[in-house]
Structure 1
Amino acid sequence: MKTLLDFLPILLFFGAYKFADIYVATGVLMAASVVQMAAIYLIDRKLQTMHKITLALVLIFGALTLMLHDERFIKWKPTVLYAAMAIALTFAVWVLKKNFLKMMLGSQLQLPDAVWMRLNVAWIGYCVFMSIVNGYVAAYYTTEQWVDFKLWGYVFPLAFIIGQGVYVSRHIQHEDKPENT
């Protein structure tokens, strides 16, 4: 259910773009993101910081796109989001000496500190990569090609998440269970 919620706004954005234009699609994305966050809030009774930042950027960049009738704003929103995530993760780990990933997920996953650090570095690299790729596509390709990239570009996060899952599964610390003799 939650996975569907994660992909719903982009799928609706893509569909609206194919049936109308970037401005209708932007409005649909804004509305779908609000509904998505409301549903997440109803399920979890809270929104994570990343949810709040994502929603704020969608609404701000979407509003600028619609008010100024300039599609560049919505096209650059992912670049700004990924760059902000990379900067925040970098600042947190190397300046504040805090690992946000461990702070957010540590109660759900028991991993050695070195693994948490590698995951954090991997996330920084992933966010930098996605920021650069989206920025390149937004700058040098047509809006239609960018929209197609947004849909088919979900291969990147899926591959990254699967890779993380494989990596993490090798390092999960299990509580020792008594052996049956």
Structure 2
Amino acid sequence: MLLCRHILLLAATVKQFIDFIPLILFFIVYKLEPRAVELAGNTYMLGGIFSATAMLIVSSVVVYGIFFLLQRKLEKSQWLTLIACLVFGSLTLAFHSETFLKWKAPVVSWLFALGFAGSHFIGEQPLIQRIMGHAMSLPQPIWTRLNIAWIAFFLVSGAANLFVAFTFQSIWVDFKVFGSLGMTLLFLIGQGLFLARHIHDVEPDPSATKSKD
């Protein structure tokens, strides 16, 4: 039983990192030397922020489209990420200004923080318990502390992205990819170490499987 829970947690972590695929493709295209390429009789510029933004939009639609086909649905967090990518990416291309894209990561992070914070007042369980409650049984105070940790993580992540984007403009794309990935990895490792002290091989609380959409 304990092994199964660890496998479920590992699967959830892997799925979380799959969400970074569009961001990695964005970074690769951004770093290319600008060049003209022909496709289907049309000429497109490849390389730089605007072609990278187009790649971010297309790859996000493809990745979350695959998720939708496999799961028959998208989680609320995936919908939020996809919609934010479409909105901020489209504004960046329409107005030819990278300022819109710089706001994407902070806004999404703070909306996630708001969702985790709101779950303390709306619904029967903290949001992290609704997400992970099917995989493990934890005392209620531990779920609360874990949920607060996610709130803090998203607040800090959003603030860090905003600060770097408008203060260190020459490296903001590098930070957007590797900074965000690094912070997420460190946080997940810390969460894993924290949970390792509290996971017990007992049957999950039936109420933990209840979630509200």
- Tell me which protein shows more helix as a share of its residues: 1
Fold-level similarity (TM above 0.5): yes
1:72-126 Cα shifts (integer Å, max 9, x gaps)? 1111100001111112211221455641111122112222211111110000000
Give the letter for the 1:57 counterpart.
A
Match for residue 33 of structure 1 among 60, 84, 100: 60
Q: Is residue 177 of structure 2 the alignment partner of residue 151 of structure 1?
A: yes
Q: Is residue 116 of structure 2 the alignment partner of residue 89 of structure 1?
A: yes
TM-score where L is the length of structure 1 = 0.90
Return the alpha-carbon distance in structure 2 between the equivalents of residues 88 and 175 of structure 1.
Answer: 29
How far 1:7 moved relative to its partner?
2.3
Return the alpha-carbon distance in structure 1 between the equivalents of residues 116 and 166 of structure 2.
Answer: 26
Moved more, 12-21 or 162-171: 162-171
Q: Is residue 90 of structure 2 the alignment partner of residue 63 of structure 1?
A: yes
Match for residue 169 of structure 1 among 190, 196, 208: 196
Note closer, same or farther for the CA distance 1:2–1:83 as it changes in structure 2 (3 Å cut): closer
- Structure 1: tracts of 5 or more residues without a match: 177-181
Partner of 1:18: 31
Moved more, 34-43 or 88-97: 88-97
Return the alpha-carbon distance in structure 2 between the equivalents of residues 173 and 46 of structure 1.
Answer: 31
Return the alpha-carbon distance in structure 1 between the equivalents of residues 16 and 130 of structure 2.
Answer: 22
What is the 5 A alignment of 1:86-165? 86-94=113-121, 98-142=125-169, 144-153=170-179, 154-165=181-192
Match for residue 77 of structure 1 among 96, 99, 104: 104
TM-score where L is the length of structure 2 = 0.77
Partner of 1:5: 18
Return the alpha-carbon distance in structure 2 between the equivalents of residues 111 and 98 of structure 1.
Answer: 12
How far 1:141 moved relative to its partner?
1.6
Return the alpha-carbon distance in structure 1 between the equivalents of residues 115 and 17 of structure 2.
Answer: 27
1:12-70 Cα shifts (integer Å, max 9, x gaps)? 00001011111111110011111111122233332110000010000000011000111
Identity among equivalent pairs (%): 37
Return the alpha-carbon distance in structure 2 between the equivalents of residues 134 and 3 of structure 1.
Answer: 19
Give the letter for the 2:53 counterpart.
T
Partner of 1:51: 78
Give the letter for the 2:104 counterpart.
K
State the number of aligned residues. Answer: 175
Superposed CA RMSD in Å reads 1.7
Give the letter for the 2:100 counterpart.
F
